[in-house]
Every structure is written in structure tokens, then in C-alpha cells.
Amino acid sequence: MSETRTTPTTGARLAAEFAGTFILVFASIGTALFAAGFPGDPGSPVNVGFLGVALAFGLSVLVSAYAFGPISGGHFNPAVTLGLAAAGRFAWRDVAGYLVAQIVAGAVATSLLYVIATGRPDAELGNFASNGYGEHSPGGFGLLSVVLIETILTAVFLTVIIGVTSQRAAAGFAPLAIGLTLTLIHLASIPVSNTSVNPARSIATALYGGGDALAQLWVFIVFPIVGGLIAGAAFKFLFDGTKRA
């Protein structure tokens, strides 16, 4: 018997966005908090470092996209949702629900991570893997550097997403390409901004990152969205420029 295809309900789509965003934030920020700075033996450290964190972000979005993408489209990121809406690939009427699901999921994920982290008597949470510029940038990069890299790399991320989910793309490989792209983005930008390209991730960590993280949060809401909108606005020029017979 052939499988009957049904259109997911709004509730199912929002639940899928929540679940995918939760996995993305919980797994990747958990890696940054618990594995990237794990001291181990001074002569043989066992932490995963920047490379491990970058892979955690890429792998978490890859598995979430394969698991929940067929239901919700697999955004898991307000910048992606807004960029796809600007490209005409997502209905504006559905944007608000997706944004709420993503932001709440991220906050739930970091709240649980906070509970886990404080279960260790000598826990030092620092800025809770929050994004930042100036003295709060891992490499000490200033505001302009952070603005540029967040805008450019979010635009790159959306351009890849739009390209690999188009009708002309090879079927079944979109989550893999998206996950590898997010890994590459983190490898390039963790030293600069601790990598956002996702306002839901930034909001989630800033909640527990202290006053400075909250004060700088606006940058990691505004400029990933700007990058996403730039990519979305360029969609028709880049991907819809074919001639009609």
C-alpha cells in the first residue's frame, strides 16, 4: 500500500520547530559549556575545543533538519524564518508563531543546561557561552568586526539554505549541506563573536550570561536578521532568474 501524505497541522509544525530548536541549542551550547572547557589532564586535555563546538552546531542542525524538516521546514532560527519569508518561500502569516516557538525552545534548553551546570559545587558559568564584542569577544574583536561577520555569514547561511531547498537541488541532501555550512560558519566566526547567526541561540544564552551579555544582545538579534533579509531579498535575482519559454 502506498503511504498517504498529509499536510502537517499548524500545531505539529510549531511543535517541530520547538523540538528542533531545543535540540540545536541544548546539544550545541551543552557542548560549549561542558566539553569545550573541560580541563582533563594538564598534559593531555580532553576538551573538544573550537572544532568540537563547531561540529556540535553543525551536527545538531543536521539531525534536527532530518528529523523535523519534513514537518516544519526545519528553520530553528528566527533569521532563517524571516529570510525565507522575504524570499517568498514562507508565509508571513506564519512567521510570528515560528519565532515564538524558536525563542521559547532556546530559553527552555538553556534553563535546563543552567540547572545541570549548577549541579557541580565549583561550577563557574562565566558568560554562559553568550555572544559578545570587545572584551566579551573570544578574540577581542570590536563591534564593527562582529556586525560584519554576523551579517555576512548569516546571509551566506540563508543563501545556502535557499539554494539547497530549491526545486533544482538534489533531493535528500539539504540537511547535510546546511549542517556542514553551519559548521564552517562557526569555524570562521567563533573567535570573533562566539558565533550567533541565530537570535534564538543568542537570547537563550544571554538569559544566563549576565548583564554584559544582555547589554550586547541587540547586536545578535539585529544583524543576523539583517543578513537573513539580505539573502531573502536577493533570492529572486540569484535563484529565480531563469527565462520562461
User: Is residue 236 pLDDT above 90, yes or no?
Assistant: no
Task: Give tens-digit pLDDT for 194-234.
Answer: 999 999 999 999 999 999 999 999 999 999 999 999 999 99
Helix residue spans in 8-94 (DSSP H): 10-30, 49-72, 78-86
pLDDT tens, position by position, 62-115: 999 999 999 999 999 999 999 999 999 999 999 999 999 999 999 999 999 999
What's the rounded Cα separation, in Å, for the pair 157 and 228?
Answer: 8
CB neighbours of 185 closer than 8 A, spacing ≥ 6? Answer: 153, 156, 157, 195, 197
Q: CATH class for domain 10-239?
A: mainly alpha
Q: What is the pLDDT of residues 133-152, one digit of tens each?
A: 999 999 999 999 999 999 99
From the list 133, 114, 145, 107, the residue with the least C-alpha distance to 215 is 133
Which ranges of 73-210 does DSSP label H, i.e. alpha helix?
78-86, 95-117, 143-164, 174-193, 199-206
pLDDT at residue 40 greater than cutoff 80: no
Averaged pLDDT, 26-49: 82
Q: Give the Å distances, CA to CA, from 14 to 32, 205, 211.
A: 27, 22, 31
- At 108, list the grid cell: 527552555
Decide if pLDDT at 243 tops 50: no
Calculate mean pLDDT across residues 172-177.
Answer: 90
